[in-house]
């Protein structure tokens, strides 16, 4: 079998050391496995004799669960869970099942040899798997028969490597001849360990593949700075060239600058972060239909879309107070709400600055358009807001205007990003606070007060009629 070391680095001694992202976890697991294999205080391993056969080097699942409960001081459920995780990573395995999990019964298990541990950074190829499956078909043993999913995999691999299948068959034949020369008990153990290795790297359909790597960890490893070893003349190797030294020096300077930039970043205490997070959750709790029933029945739970339909067809006169209050949380909350944008547009129109909001909305619409419509929309936005003859010019500096004009040579969805960001910042810092202080917003927050004031104005226009008593006095006179 070919051993593929995927993430490797060369250390000072010249041998390869694995730099797998889960290496620290593997080391902790392996220390626990070594304690399990201790002859005096570990899990009892024995050879089970049955009629006409022997099962060497096995232990039961019940023995392992009891050992975990006693050694780690955990309950039965956690012991089974931890044991199943260890089995899924291939540190021990059931001798008669392809599904790597731990059962608290008399099922026999066997420890995996350290050669096949995941800390060795195995990454076997499909050709290795094809050789293994082909070798299994050559041995007339019931315990080595292919499972259904393995037979399907073999057929796929045979079609995939049809041109080199003869070479794969020859390799499998050579390995099978070597295996026949081994002792019977040794062959049983090695066959089961090799099968368990492939159960980890080519698991049964529906089982978790523990060899898959987190993309974030992989990206972090690929970005890791790999220092170049500069050999000294005493090592017997060549002296480093000037270009090697300069390259290493520049890389070190880059690392120093990166670390300085990290130190300059603002740091928050965990208590402060938790406080801000709790405040944020409490603020938005009433607006989450999963947590609050004030908004009406949740469409995701009741399959009734009345709440969404009411929100989409609501007019400016019907805006509920809870929705208006949310506009005061942040400028983004105001812009996300279509009614909020309409109210802001009315306010800005009174101040003769509604072109800022119209420009921002046009830029947002531009990013949602199909590629064929983009050039025409870019030209339209530029003519309306940024050209010398525009009817609604926006307030941007000359630097942003020059950048935008350069982007116009190759129009795309992000041509106006610099101008849009500038206008957004301007509205958030100036227009938004004035909108929150305006009478227009206060009237939306207090609709009852607005109704009373309107009634008082109407009442003042109605002439005061004389009462019945006054009318009687007039008649007497």
Mean pLDDT over 464-476 rounds to 53
Other beta carbons within 10 Å of 466: 9
Q: Measure the CA–CA gap between 58 and 78, rounded to whole angstroms.
A: 22
Residue 262 pLDDT greater than 60, yes or no: yes
In this predicted model, which residue has the larger pLDDT, 227 or 160?
160
Q: Kindly state whether residues 35 and 179 are assigned to the same domain.
A: yes
Residue 62 pLDDT greater than 80, yes or no: yes
- Per-residue model confidence (pLDDT) at position 243: 79
- Per-residue model confidence (pLDDT) at position 469: 52
In this predicted model, which residue has the larger pLDDT, 310 or 154?
154
Query: Rg (Cα) of the chain, in Å, rounded?
Result: 37
- Per-residue model confidence (pLDDT) at position 52: 76
Helix 23-36 × helix 76-88 angle, to 10°: 120
Helix residue ranges, H only, 58-125: 61-72, 76-88
Residue 16 pLDDT greater than 50, yes or no: no
Out of 166, 201, 236, pick the residue that ends a domain: 201
Other beta carbons within 10 Å of 9: 11
- Per-residue model confidence (pLDDT) at position 230: 46
Residue 466 pLDDT greater than 60, yes or no: no
Q: Which domain holds residue 27?
A: 8-201
Q: Measure the CA–CA gap between 345 and 440, rounded to whole angstroms.
A: 12
Assess if residue 330 is contained within a domain.
Answer: yes
* pLDDT interval class at 91 (50, 70, 90): very high
Q: Kindly state whether residues 59 and 188 are assigned to the same domain.
A: yes
In this predicted model, which residue has the larger pLDDT, 300 or 93?
93
Least-confidence region, from 5-19, 146-160, 247-261, 284-298: 5-19
Query: HSE of 304 in the Cβ direction (CA atoms, 13 Å)?
Result: 8
Is the torsion defined by CA of 23, 27, 28, 30 positive or negative? Answer: positive
Residue 198 pLDDT greater than 50, yes or no: yes
In this predicted model, which residue has the larger pLDDT, 17 or 146?
146
User: Do β-strands 46-50 and 53-60 pair in parallel, antiparallel, or remain unpaired?
Assistant: antiparallel
Mean pLDDT over 51-55 rounds to 81
> What are the CA-CA distances from residue 280 to residues 287, 290, 330 (Å)?
12, 16, 12
Residues 6+ apart with CB under 8 A from 391: 384
Using an 8 Å Cβ cutoff, are 153 and 133 in contact? yes
Residue 210 pLDDT greater than 90, yes or no: no
- Per-residue model confidence (pLDDT) at position 227: 47
Mean pLDDT of the chain: 82
* pLDDT interval class at 92 (50, 70, 90): very high
- Per-residue model confidence (pLDDT) at position 13: 37
Assess if residue 88 is contained within a domain.
Answer: yes
Assess if residue 404 is contained within a domain.
Answer: yes
In this predicted model, which residue has the larger pLDDT, 240 or 198?
198
In this predicted model, which residue has the larger pLDDT, 477 or 122?
122
Which of 175, 198, 205, 197 lies closest to 187, judged by CA?
175
Give 391's DSSP letter. S
Residue 316 pLDDT greater than 80, yes or no: no
Residue 128: which H helix or E strand, with range?
A: helix 126-138
Helix residue ranges, H only, 181-238: 184-201, 215-223
Assess if residue 251 is contained within a domain.
Answer: no
Helix residue ranges, H only, 290-431: 299-302, 306-313, 321-327, 331-336, 338-350, 354-367, 374-385, 398-407, 417-426
Q: Kindly state whether residues 197 and 330 are assigned to the same domain.
A: no
How far does CA 332 lie from the centroid of its chain? 24
Per-residue pLDDT tens over the stretch 28-45: 999 999 999 999 999 999
3 state DSSP class of 84: helix
**pTM of the model as a whole:** 0.47
Assess if residue 246 is contained within a domain.
Answer: no
* pLDDT interval class at 472 (50, 70, 90): low
3 state DSSP class of 206: coil
Q: Measure the CA–CA gap between 416 and 401, rounded to whole angstroms.
A: 9
Q: Measure the CA–CA gap between 249 and 257, rounded to whole angstroms.
A: 12
Using an 8 Å Cβ cutoff, are 96 and 196 in contact? no
Cα angle 181, 187, 189; round to 5: 160
Residue 453: which H helix or E strand, with range?
A: helix 447-461
Q: Kindly state whether residues 197 and 318 are assigned to the same domain.
A: no
Assess if residue 267 is contained within a domain.
Answer: no
Q: Kindly state whether residues 193 and 325 are assigned to the same domain.
A: no
- What share of the chain has pLDDT > 90, as a percent? 45
Residue 232 pLDDT greater than 80, yes or no: no
Assess if residue 209 is contained within a domain.
Answer: no
3 state DSSP class of 304: coil
Mean pLDDT over 261-275 rounds to 85
- Per-residue model confidence (pLDDT) at position 131: 92
3 state DSSP class of 109: strand
> What are the CA-CA distances from residue 354 to residues 168, 304, 339, 455 (Å)?
73, 37, 15, 31
Residue 246: which H helix or E strand, with range?
A: helix 242-264
Residue 302 pLDDT greater than 60, yes or no: yes
First to last CA, the chain: 126
Strand order in the sheet with 53-60: 46-50, 53-60, 108-111, 92-94
Q: What is the CATH number of the domain that holds 134?
A: 1.10.10.10
- Per-residue model confidence (pLDDT) at position 220: 63
Q: What is the CATH number of the domain that holds 353?
A: 1.10.167.10
Give 27's DSSP letter. H
* pLDDT interval class at 298 (50, 70, 90): confident
Out of 201, 220, 255, pick the residue that ends a domain: 201
Counted domains in the chain: 2
Per-residue pLDDT tens over the stretch 424-465: 999 999 999 999 999 999 988 887 655 444 444 444 445 554
Residue 264 pLDDT greater than 90, yes or no: no
Assess if residue 469 is contained within a domain.
Answer: no
Out of 148, 175, 201, pick the residue that ends a domain: 201
- Per-residue model confidence (pLDDT) at position 241: 74
* pLDDT interval class at 217 (50, 70, 90): low
User: Do β-strands 46-50 and 92-94 pair in parallel, antiparallel, or remain unpaired?
Assistant: unpaired
Residue 114 pLDDT greater than 70, yes or no: yes
Q: Which residues are 10's β-sheet partners?
A: 16
- Per-residue model confidence (pLDDT) at position 14: 39
Using an 8 Å Cβ cutoff, are 348 and 357 in contact? yes
In this predicted model, which residue has the larger pLDDT, 338 or 459?
338
In this predicted model, which residue has the larger pLDDT, 236 or 145?
145
Q: Kindly state whether residues 33 and 177 are assigned to the same domain.
A: yes
């Amino acid at each position: 079998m070919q051993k593929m070391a995927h993430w490797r680095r060369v250390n000072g001694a010249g041998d390869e050391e694995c730099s797998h992202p889960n290496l620290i976890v593997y080391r902790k697991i392996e220390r626990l496995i070594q304690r399990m294999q201790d002859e005096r205080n570990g899990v009892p391993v024995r050879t089970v004799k049955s009629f006409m056969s022997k099962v060497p080097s096995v232990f039961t699942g019940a023995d392992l669960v009891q050992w975990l409960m006693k050694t780690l001081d955990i309950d039965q459920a956690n012991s089974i869970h931890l044991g199943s995780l260890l089995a899924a990573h291939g540190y021990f395995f059931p001798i008669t099942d392809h599904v790597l999990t731990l059962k608290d019964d008399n099922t026999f298990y066997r420890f995996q040899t350290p050669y096949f541990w995941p800390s060795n950074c195995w990454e076997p190829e499909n050709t290795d798997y094809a050789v293994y499956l082909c070798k299994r078909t050559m041995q007339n043993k019931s315990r080595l028969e292919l499972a259904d999913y393995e037979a399907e995999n073999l057929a796929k691999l045979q079609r995939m490597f049809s041109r080199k299948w003869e070479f794969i068959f020859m390799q499998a034949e050579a390995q099978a001849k070597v295996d026949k020369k081994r002792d019977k008990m040794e062959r049983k153990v090695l066959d089961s360990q090799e099968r368990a290795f492939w159960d980890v790297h080519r698991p049964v359909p529906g089982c978790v593949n523990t060899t898959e790597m987190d993309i974030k960890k992989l990206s972090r490893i690929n970005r890791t700075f790999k220092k170049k070893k500069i050999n000294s003349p005493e090592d017997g190797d060549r002296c480093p060239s000037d270009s090697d030294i300069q390259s290493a020096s520049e890389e070190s300077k880059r690392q120093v600058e990166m670390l300085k930039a990290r130190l300059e970043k603002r740091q928050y205490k965990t208590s402060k972060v938790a406080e801000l997070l709790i405040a944020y959750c409490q603020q938005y709790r009433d607006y989450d239909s999963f947590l609050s029933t004030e908004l009406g029945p949740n469409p995701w739970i009741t399959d009734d879309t009345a709440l969404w339909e009411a929100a989409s067809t609501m007019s400016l006169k019907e805006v509920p107070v809870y929705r208006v209050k949310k506009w005061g949380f942040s400028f983004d909350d105001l812009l996300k709400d279509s009614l909020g944008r309409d109210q802001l547009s009315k306010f800005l129109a009174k101040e003769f600055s509604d072109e800022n909001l119209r420009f921002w909305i046009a830029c947002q619409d531009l990013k949602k358009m199909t590629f064929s419509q983009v050039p025409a929309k870019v030209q339209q936005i530029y003519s309306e807001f940024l050209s010398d003859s525009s009817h609604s010019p926006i307030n941007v500096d000359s630097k942003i205007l020059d950048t935008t004009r350069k982007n116009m040579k190759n129009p795309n969805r992000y041509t106006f990003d610099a101008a849009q960001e500038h206008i957004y910042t301007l509205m958030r810092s100036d227009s938004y606070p004035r909108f929150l202080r305006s009478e227009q917003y206060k009237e939306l927050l207090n609709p009852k007060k607005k109704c009373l004031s309107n009634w008082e104005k109407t009442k003042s226009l109605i002439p005061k009629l004389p009462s019945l008593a006054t009318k009687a006095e007039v008649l007497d006179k």
